[in-house]
């Protein structure tokens, strides 16, 4: 009888540990920092539910101001990504998300630009963000970003 209880407890502990480790791996994309390869800038990206916040600089929480807020409720996980260019056309950075919907932009629009394609199949977006100072990232995929972009996962 004692051996059965010990086996059940051991099995339950094993499932608990596996579930806990898997969940952290799956959710690590919810708080990231992105920067160009030269580390000259940092953008914090925090995703809470169907809302994604982009903030200039390093942040551990979402500030009351100075952020870009996108709605992801209509974004499939396979299309959940963004493109970014650094120091372009007078902007410190510009970000584009093809499928997300802009909720509010509380950034200084003279320094930071958000571009949203008029249609999901707008090919000009993909060409614009293939320059040497740009990069793109599928945030929920476990792949390296493409281009001039580094990603750091922040585990809280």
* CB-neighbour burial class of residue 97 (10 A; exposed 0-12, middle 13-18, buried 19+): buried
Task: Give me the residue spans of the domains in the chain.
Answer: 29-153
The 10s digit of each residue's pLDDT in 111-129 is 999 987 666 565 555 667 7
What one-character DSSP code corresponds to residue 142? S
CB 92, CB 56: distance < 8 Å: yes
What pLDDT does 130 receive?
Answer: 80
Choose among 94, 107, 106, 110: nearest CA to 34: 94
What pLDDT does 10 receive?
Answer: 54
CA distance 153 to 23: 14
CB 54, CB 75: distance < 8 Å: no
Low-confidence ranges of the chain (pLDDT < 50): 18, 23-24
CA distance 97 to 94: 10
Task: Characterize 64-78 residue by residue with b for buried, 16 or more Cβ atoms within 10 angstroms of its Cβ, and e for exposed.
Answer: eeebbbbebeebeee
CA distance 106 to 119: 24
Strands 91-96 and 112-115: parallel
Q: DSSP assignment of 42-64, as one string?
A: -EEEEEETTEEEEEEB--SS--S
The 10s digit of each residue's pLDDT in 67-85 is 999 999 999 988 899 999 9
H or E stretch at 11: helix 2-27
């Amino acid at each position: 009888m004692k051996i059965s209880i010990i086996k059940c407890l051991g099995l339950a502990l094993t499932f608990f540990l596996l579930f806990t480790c898997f969940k952290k791996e799956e959710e690590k994309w919810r708080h990231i920092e992105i920067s160009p390869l030269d580390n000259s800038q940092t953008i914090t990206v925090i995703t809470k539910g169907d809302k994604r916040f982009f903030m200039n600089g390093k942040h551990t929480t979402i500030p009351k101001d100075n952020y870009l807020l996108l709605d992801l409720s209509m974004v499939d996980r396979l299309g959940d990504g963004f493109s970014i260019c650094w120091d372009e056309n007078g902007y410190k950075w510009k970000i584009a998300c093809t499928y997300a919907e802009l909720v509010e932009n509380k950034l200084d629009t003279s320094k930071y630009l958000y571009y949203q394609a008029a249609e999901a199949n707008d090919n000009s977006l993909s060409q614009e963000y293939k320059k040497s100072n740009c990069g793109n990232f599928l945030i929920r995929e476990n792949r390296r970003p493409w281009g001039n972009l580094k990603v750091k996962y922040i585990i809280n």
